Amino acid sequence: MKIIEAHKSPSHDAAHTHVQGLSEFIDDRPAVAGELHVGVVYSPHPHARIVGIDPTDALAIADVVAVFTARDVHHNLWGPIFQDQPLVADTVVSFVGEVVALVAAETREAMEQARRAVRVSYEVLPAILSIPEAIAAQSFLGYERFIRRGDVDAAIAAAPHKRDGVVYIQGQDHFYLESHAAIAYPRDGGQIEVHASSQHPTEVQHIVAHGLGLRALDVVCVVKRMGGGFGGKESQAALFAFYASLVAHKLNRPARCVITKDDDMIMTGKRNPFEIHYRVGFDSDGALCGLDARLFSDGGAFADLSTSIMERAMLHSDNAYFLPAASIVGKVCKTHVHPHTAFRGFGGPKGVAMIEAILEDIAHSLEKDPLDVRKRNVYSAPDRNVTHYGQPLENLLLPELFDSLESRCDYRARRASVREHNAKGTSTLRGLSLTAVKFGISFTTRFLNQGNALVNVHQDGTVQVSTGATEMGQGVNTRIAQVVAEVLGIAHTDVRVMTTSTEKNHNTSPTAASSGTDLNAKAALDAVTRIRDRLSLVARGVLALPEDRRPSRTAGLGTQPELAVPEGARDEDIIFADGEAYDRLDSSKRIAFGALCREAYLSRVQLGDYGFFKIPGIHFDKLTGQGSPFFYFTQGTACSEIEIDRYTGELKVLRVDLLMDLGRPINHGLDVGQVIGAFVQGMGWCTSENLVYDDKGLLLSHSPSTYKIPSVQDTPRDFRIELIENHDNLQNVRGTKAVGEPPLLLGLSVWTAVRDALYALAPVEHTLPATLPMTLERILLTLDALRLQGLAR
Amino acid sequence: MRDSVVLYINGRRHELKGEHAFATLSDYLRYERRLTGTKVVCAEGDCGACTVLVGRAGSDRPWRFEPVNACIVQMLQLDGSHVLTIEAVAQPDGSLHEVQRAMCENHGSQCGFCTPGFVMAMLGHFEHHPHRPADRKEIANHLTGNLCRCTGYLPILDAAADVRPERLQSVVARLHTEPLQRALTESTERPLSIAVEGRGRLDAPTTLDALLSLRAAHPDARITAGNTDLGVMINKQKLWPAGSSRHAITTHKVAELDHVTVHEGVVTVGAAATLGALERACETSVPELAKLLRVFASPQIKATATLMGNVANGSPIGDTLPALFALGAEVEAQSLRGARWIPIDALYVGYRALSIAPDEVLTRVRFSVPGDVAVFRAYKVCQRKDLDISFVGASFYLERSAGVVTRARVAYGGVGPTVMRLPAIEARLQGTAISDTQAWDAIADELAASLSPRSDLRGSLEARKILSANLLRKFANELRAEVSA
C-alpha cells in the first residue's frame, strides 16, 4: 500500500483567530442592554412527582425578573425521533438534572441566587438506575430491533468450540470544552433569533418554534461555531436554546443561558452504556461460525437518539469480520438517568468493542496470537464480503490494511519481545493488540442524507458559501472552502464559509455521522459548478472582445449588446486556475477571476446559486434489518502497545501505529488531526474516563477534577499515523472519505492491549471479564484476583 | 491603608474599588473588560482554558511571569501583579506571535476553546526559555494543566517543537517596562483593606504582625494564599454562595512568609511560598519531593498554590501531606500570644479538623533533608498520572544499616479521615532485612488489614487496600533493585 506523504495543508479557517482568542463563542458575545441571565432549576431526584413549585423566595431577590415553569411552555414534548421528553418537567421528573423551572435575572449573581431559592417539593418515586434493573422491570424504549443471517443456533451448535459471556460498556461524557450555551434575541413581531452552540440548527429552530407556539418562519437559529460537540450538541443543545428563547419571548428581552461544566455534566446525556450478552461458535482456527448477541443499552429517561444508536451498534457488531451466521438483537432500556445521546461513533464503538473482545477471548482460549484470529475472520473477497445485514463490501481494503500495518509496525518481532518481557516477571506487564475499523458512512435514516448550500460570488471575485454544516473544530468549513475554491481556480482564502443560519439553509441535517463534508461540500459543489459553467461562457464572450468594448467599459452606457449566456451550458476550453480564467487553446487569452466576476455582473449573469445533494442508492429496512445503508466504508487498522505497573495498575501507552484509508483527503492536516483526536478520545473512553453515579442516580464525576479525559501526558509515547493512497472512492465528493468518527473506534486497540497484557497472566481456561473502561482500579483488581488465584507471579 | 486593588493588565493600570475587587480574574476580564479570549470551562483550575500569565515579585526572587488559572484567582490576590492575557500576545502590528504561528500551521487548534489557554501556557515556557527549541518532554510537563478534547495533543506538541527561538518575541519585555514595575511596586506597598456593604471584606496585610492582629480580631475570616482551593469552593457555591457576605485575608503580600530556605539540612517553607518555589528549591536537596511536586499539580496551580495551603486544607488525601508526615515535618502556628511548632502528625484531629486555636495562623513548615543513610520515597497513584487527585498516596522514610531497616516512618493518604502515620507497620519494619521478600509481603498484608478506607468516587475500599499493600511491596522491590544495582 502506498502511503500519502505528509505535507503542509491549509490551516483551519479560524486558526488565526483561535490562537489570538478572537474567535467568538456564545458567551463571548457582548451583553446588550436589557439582557437577562437565564438559570436552570433541576431535579435532585431520579424519579419523583412534582408536588409544588414555589417561586416566592426567588422572586423576592433583588434583580430577579421572573420564574417560568412547564405551564409557560406552549407545546412541551420534544425529541429527535420520538417526541417523549418534556422541555420543562411538568408533573414528574425522570432524572437528576431534569429542568423543572427557569429563572431570569438582571445579573449572574442574582440568577445563581434565585436558582437555589426556587422551592420545589417532590414526592420521591422508585427509580430504575441500571440496565439489569430495567430488564427486570421490562422497561424499554422503542421496539426490539434485529438483524439476522442464517440459522445461528444451528451454526453455534455445529461449531467445534463455543463460548458465551457478557460485555459491560460504560458511557462517556463528551467533555466538549464549551458547555451548552445559547442567547436569544426577540425580534419584530414576536420573532426569535437564537444563537446556539448546536450541531443541529434546524432542529433548534423547530423546537423553539413549537415550544413557544410559533411557526418556522418566526425563528432563526444561528450557529457561528461550537467549542466542541462530539455528538453532545446534536439533540440536547436544543433544550438550552429553548430556555433562552422562552425567556426572550415571554419578557421581550434578550436572554442568555450559559451552563456551568458541572451542571452540563449532571444534566445532559452521555454515550449510552451497553450490556451485551452473547454466544459464539468458532472452529479450531478461531474462525467464527455464528454469533448470537443481545445488545441492551441504557437509553436513560427519554428516547433521544438511542434507538438509532442501537441500530448502528447492531450494524457494527461485525466490525471488520465476516459473520457466517448471526442474530443481533437490540433493546434500549428506559431508566431514570439523563437521556443518553449521540457521541462520536454513535453505536459503532459498542458493537465493535464486543466483537474485538470476543476475538481476543477466542485467541486466548485457543492459545493463538489474536492477530491470527482476526486475520482469519477479516472480510475478504469473493465469498466472505457481504455484511450480516446484506450489504456487499466494495473497495474492501481491510485484509491489506491488516497485512500492511502488521509489517509496518513490526508486529511479530514486537509480539515476541512482549512475550519475553512478560516472562521475565518484572514489575511491569506489557500488552500488544492490532485491531481494525470498518465504519459505515451515511445516516442510517435515509432522509437525513441530504444537504443544501448557498454560494454567493461577489464582484471582486471573492466567495461566500453558506451551508447547514456547523463548525465544531473539525474543519468542515475549511474543506468546503477548498472544494469551492478548487472549482473556481482561486485561493481557498478567497472563499469564506459563513455563519450557519436557518434563514440561509433550510431543513438541514445535523452535522453528525461524519457526514458534514460529504453532504455540504457536495451541495456547495453542485452550486458552484453551475456558477463556474456560466462564468466560462462569460469568459469566452469577454475574451473575444477588445478591452474597450468589454462590459466594464460599456455597460454603463449601454452601447454594446449584452453577452448571451444560456443556462446549463459550459465552455470546456475555459480553464479556471491560479486566480484566472483562460482559454485552453490560446492561453494568452486570460482574465483575472475578480475582473471576470465584474464583467459577469455587468452582463446580468447570475453569480450566486443554490445547490442540493442527496446520497444516492442507499436503503435500509429497519423492520427486517436488511439493506445497504452505507454509501461507503471508512477503514483502518491500529496497533497499540501498553505497559501496566503490576503493583499499582497504572497504565502507559508506549506506542501506537495507525493506518487509515481516507480516500483522497481534501486537507491532509485536518484529517490527520481528526484521526489523532478521535483516537485519543476513544482511548480515554477505554481507560481513564470513569462515570461514577451514586445510588440516587446523581453523577458524582461531574467535572474534570473527577472525570479524567486524557491529558498531554497520556498520549502514546510513540505515535505514528499514516494514511494510505486510495483514489477509488469516486462516488464521494472529491474522492475523499469521512473521518470524524472512524478513528475513535481504533482507540479500542488500547483496551484490547490491556486485556492482552492481563491474559499473559491467565491460564488458557481463564476468561477475563470484558469491562470497558479498564480503569486503574479495574486493572488493579484484575491483577489482584489473578494473584489470589495463584495465577500471577 | 489602601482601599483599591492595583494591578496592570496587558501593560495598562487598573484600580479596582468596591464590588469589582470581589471578582475572579476571569470574570473581570471577560465581563468587565471584554477580554473574552480567556475562556472558562471548569471553573476549578483543572483545564487551563483560562490560563493567563501573571507577573509578580516575591521577597526572595525577582519578577517572574508564570501561567495562572484566571478562573480561581480572585482580584485580591492580584494586587501588585501584572496580568498578560491572550489579547496581548500578537504583535502590535497584528502579526502573530511565533507561538501562535506555530499553533496555526501545525493544526494545534481545532474548536479553539482551549487554544488561548494553550498559547498562554506555551508562551509561559518560552518566556523563561527563549534561546532554545522546546524539548518535547519538558513542554509536555509544562502543558499538563491544559486539557484539549479535539486534537489528541500531538499537533500541539508538534507546534511547540516548531517554535523557532530566533523568531520569538518576548511579550513580557514588550509590555512589562521598568517604569511600570516601579509604579506598580510603589502603589502596592501599603496594606489593603476593602469593605463593601453586603459583599464583605477583603484584607491584604503586608506584615506578619498585621496578619496576626487581623486573625485575632476576625477568627471567622478565611485565610487564603493561592486561593486554588477556596476559589473552587466559591465558584461552586460551596463557600460564600451568591448573595452572601465574605471575609478573606490573603497572605500573599506578607514578605516574611514568602520564602523557602534550605539551611543546615533543614528546609523551611513560609506560608506564602508557592509549590513552584518549593519545587525549584528542592530540586537538589530533596529531589524525591520535587519529583512528587512535578505530578502533584499543573504549572498553573503550582504558580499560586502554597504548601501551607495544602497543610491547612487538611485533606485526607492531601497529596503533599504523606510526604511531610514521612519526612517528620513540623508546622509552626503563630498568634499574638506567641509561636509554637507542632509535629505534623499531631496537627490533624479529624476530617479536615486542625488542632489550632482560632487566633492562630499557620506560618511555616520545616523538615530535615533526608540524610545519606536514609531513603525517602513518595508515591501518588491516581487514575491519571498528572493533575489528578490521588486514589492513594504513600510516603516512606527509612534509615538502614547493613541492609536492615533501623527506623521507619510510613504515611498514607486516601485511606482514612486524615492522612496518617502507621506506627504498627513502622514497628514491624524496624529490624526487617530489605532483602527479606517474604517479610515485606507479610507486612504489606498486615498493612492492608489494618486500614479501613472508604469507597468513594475515586475508588473502592477494596482497591484502596490492595493498592496500599502494593505500594509497600513496590517500595520494597525498588529498594532491592537499588541495592542489587
Provide φ and ψ at A600, rounded to 5°. -65, -45
Q: Where are the beta strands (DSSP E) in A696-772?
A: 718-724, 770-772
CB contact under 8 A, B109 and A777: no
CB of B19 within 8 Å of a chain A CB? The answer is no
Contact B448, B422 (CB under 8 A): no
Could you report the per-residue pLDDT of B229-286, keeping only the tens digit for each?
Answer: 999 999 999 999 999 999 999 999 999 999 999 999 999 999 999 999 999 999 999 9
Query: Which of A16-20, B19-23, B101-105 has the least mean pLDDT?
Result: B19-23
SS3 label, residue A168: strand
Asked if B384 has any chain A CB less than 8 Å from its own CB, the reply is yes
Please choose, from the candidates A447, A333, A436, A359, the residue with its C-alpha nearest in 3D space to the C-alpha of residue A393. A436
Reported as a single tens digit per residue, the pLDDT across A265-280 is 999 999 999 999 999 9
Chain B CB within 8 Å of residue A620 CB: no
| Element containing residue B310 per DSSP (H, E) | helix B307-313
Catalytic, A123? Answer no
* Separation of alpha carbons B59 and B255, rounded Å: 6
Residue-level pLDDT at B458 = 85
CA distance B103 to A15: 8
Count other Cβ atoms within 10 Å, centred on residue A123: 10
Q: Write out the H or E segment, with its range, that includes residue B34.
A: none
Cβ atoms of residues B460 and B380 within 8 Å? no
Domains of chain A in sequence order: 31-127+180-258 (3.90.1170.50), 274-380+397-444+622-788 (3.30.365.10), 450-614 (3.30.365.10)
Chain A: residue nearest B388 by CA?
A: A705
Euclidean distance between the first and the last CA atom of chain A, given in angstroms as a whole number: 43
Q: What is the spatial distance between Cα B436 and Cα B405, in angstroms, rounded to a whole number?
A: 11
Residue with cell 517554535: B163
Distance CA A455, CA A478 (A): 15
Closest partner residue to A21 (CB to CB) among B38, B152, B389 is B38
Q: What's residue B300's pLDDT?
A: 96
What residues 296-355 of chain B have any CB closer than 8 A to a CB of chain A? none
- Please say if the pLDDT value at position A7 is more than 90: no
Question: Are A216 and A172 spatial neighbours (Cβ–Cβ below 8 Å)?
Answer: no
Q: Residue B386 pLDDT > 80, yes or no?
A: no
**pLDDT tens digits for A646-674?**
999 999 999 999 999 999 999 999 999 99
Residue A787's pLDDT band (boundaries 50, 70, 90)?
Answer: confident
Residues of chain A contacting B155 with CB distance shorter than 8 Å: 672-673, 676
Residue with cell 492575557: B85
Q: Identify the residue with better confidence: A91 or A1.
A: A91
What share of chain A in percent tops pLDDT 70?
99
Sign of torsion over alpha carbons A467, A25, A306, A168: positive
Q: Do A228 and B477 touch (CB under 8 A)?
A: no
In this structure, which amino acid lies at residue A403? D
Min Cα–Cα distance to chain B from A735, Å: 23
State the maximum Cα–Cα separation within chain B, in Å, rounded to a whole number. 71
pLDDT tier, B483 (very low <50, low <70, confident <90, very high otherwise): confident
CA B92 distance to own-chain centroid: 34
Q: Which residues pair with B54 in a beta bridge?
A: B66, B83
Nearest to A468 by CA among A497, A509, A522, A514: A509
Do the Cβ atoms of B15 and B4 come closer than 8 Å?
yes
pLDDT tens by residue, B333-384 = 999 999 999 999 999 999 999 999 999 999 999 999 999 889 999 999 988 8
A7, A12, A20, best to mutate vs chain B, most B CBs in 10 Å: A20
Q: Residue A35 corresponds to which cell in the numbers above?
A: 439582557
Rounded to an integer, what distance in angstroms lies between the CA atom of residue B83 and that of residue B184?
A: 12
List CB contacts of A194: < 8 A, sequence separation 6 or more. A182, A183, A184, A185, A204, A205, A208, A219, A220, A221, A222, A241, A244, A245, A248
User: What is the rounded average pLDDT of the residues B9-29?
Assistant: 96
B261 to chain A nearest CA, in Å?
31
Q: Which are the contacts of A382, defined by CB distance < 8 A and separation ≥ 6? A: none
- The three cell numbers of residue B49 are 482554558
Average pLDDT, chain B: 94
Q: What pLDDT is attached to residue B60?
A: 56
Q: Is B186 exposed, middle or buried (0-12, 13-18, 19+ CB in 10 A)?
A: exposed
Q: Which residue has the cell 502579526?
A: B95
- Does residue A793 carry a pLDDT above 50? no
Q: Which residues of B touch A673 (CB under 8 A)?
A: 107, 110, 150-152, 155
User: With an 8 Å Cβ cutoff, are A648 and B470 in contact?
Assistant: yes
Beta bridge partners of A169: A274, A772
User: Could you report the per-residue pLDDT of A526-544, keeping only the tens digit for each?
Assistant: 999 999 999 999 999 999 9
Alpha-carbon span A115 to A41, nearest angstrom: 5
Q: What is the full DSSP assignment across B311-358? A: HHHT-SS-TTHHHHHHTT-EEEEEETTEEEEEEHHHHEEETTEE---T
Instruction: From the candidates A178, A356, A406, A741, give the one annotated as an active-site residue.
Output: A741
Interval B27-47 mean pLDDT: 97
- R_g of chain A, CA atoms, integer Å: 28
Predicted TM-score (pTM) of this structure = 0.97
Distance CA A527, CA A464 (A): 12
Inter-chain CB proximity A18 and B463 less than 8 Å: no
Query: Residues of chain B with pLDDT > 90: what percent?
Result: 89
* Of A527, A550, A556, A521, residue with least CA distance to A538: A550
Instruction: Determine, for residues B107 and A474 on separate chains, whether the beta-carbon distance falls below 8 Å.
Output: no
A270 inside 8 A of chain B by CB: no
Q: Would you state the torsion angle of the CA atoms of residues A258, A264, A266, A271, taken in this order, to the nearest 10 degrees?
A: 160
CA torsion A640-A646-A648-A653 (nearest 10°) is -10
**Mind listing the domains of chain B with CATH numbers?**
4-87+176-250 (3.10.20.30), 98-168 (1.10.150.120), 257-368 (3.30.465.10), 374-484 (3.30.390.50)
- Are A177 and B87 within 8 A, CB to CB? no
Distances from the Cα of B142 to the Cαs of A648, B128, B138, B388, in angstroms?
25, 12, 6, 15
- Contacts of residue A84, defined as CB under 8 A and 6 or more positions apart, other chains included, come to A77, A302, A303
End-to-end CA distance of chain B, in Å? 62
Dig out the grid coordinates for A493 from the structure: 482564502
Cis peptide before A254 (omega within 30 of 0): no
Chain B interface includes A700 (CB < 8 A): yes
DSSP B96-123: PPHHHHHHHHTT--SSSSSHHHHHHHHH
Enumerate residues 6+ apart whose C-beta is below 8 A from A123.
A48, A49, A51
In this predicted model, what pLDDT tens digit does every residue of A290-311 receive, in sequence order?
999 999 999 999 999 999 999 9
Nearest by CB to B381, from A19, A227, A650: name it: A650
- The alpha carbon of residue B282 and the mean position of all alpha carbons in its chain are separated, in whole angstroms, by 14
Q: Which of A631-645, B357-371, B448-462 bottoms out in mean pLDDT, i.e. has the lowest?
A: B448-462
User: Residue A48 is placed in which grid cell?
Assistant: 419523583
> Residue B319's pLDDT is what?
84
pLDDT of residue A274: 98
CA distance A646 to A654: 16
Contact A90, A50 (CB under 8 A): yes
ipTM confidence: 0.97
Query: What pLDDT score does A790 carry?
Result: 62
Query: Can you tell me the distance from the alpha carbon of B480 to that of B398, in angstroms, rounded to the nearest whole number?
Result: 13
Question: For chain A, what is the largest distance between any 2 Cα atoms, rounded to a whole number of angstroms?
Answer: 100
Pairing state between β A500-501 and A219-223: antiparallel
Strand segments, DSSP code E, in A367-510 are: 428-441, 450-457, 463-467, 495-497, 500-501
| B389 close to A (CB below 8 A) | yes
| Closest by Cα among A140, A182, A195 to A37 | A182
- Judged by a CB distance cut-off of 8 A, whether residue A60 touches chain B is no
**How many Å apart are CA B375 and CA B447, to the nearest integer?**
20
Comparing C-alpha atoms, which of A353, A371, A299, A374 is closest to residue A82? A299
The verdict on B31 touching A (C-beta cutoff 8 Å) is yes
What is d(CA A353, CA A330) in angstroms, rounded to the nearest whole number?
15
Q: What is the 3-state secondary structure (H, E, C) of B392-457?
A: EEEEEEEEEECCEEEEEEEEEECCCCCCEECHHHHHHHCCCECCCHHHHHHHHHHHHHHCCCCCEC
User: Cβ–Cβ of B43/A260 closer than 8 Å?
Assistant: yes
Q: Measure the CA–CA gap between B444 and B451, rounded to whole angstroms.
A: 11
B428 has pLDDT over 60: yes
Is the predicted pLDDT of residue B484 greater than 90, yes or no?
no
A771 touches chain B (CB under 8 A): no
Q: Minimal Cα–Cα distance from B221 to chain A, Å?
A: 22
Q: Cβ(B220)–Cβ(B247) under 8 Å?
A: yes
Separation CA B160–CA B193 (nearest Å): 42
Residue A681: which of B105, B140, B149 has the nearest Cβ? Answer: B149
Q: Scanning the structure block, which residue is given the C-alpha cell 483599591?
A: B4
State the pLDDT at residue A488.
98
Phi, psi of B267 (to 5 degrees): -95, 125
Contacts of A649 in chain B (CB under 8 A): 381, 467
- Nine-digit cell at B106? 501545525
Radius of gyration for the alpha carbons in chain B, expressed in angstroms and rounded:
23
Where residue B44 falls among pLDDT bands split at 50, 70, 90? Answer: very high
CB proximity list for A270: less than 8 A, separation 6 or greater? A171, A172, A173, A174, A338, A340, A341, A343, A691
A632, β-bridge pairs? A441
Task: Give bridge partners of residue A451 from the DSSP assignment.
Answer: A613
Taking one residue from A and the other from B, the number of pairs with CB-CB distance under 8 angstroms is 250
Copy the grid coordinates of residue A341.
445521546
Q: Is the pLDDT of residue A792 over 60?
A: no
pLDDT tops 70 at residue B61: no
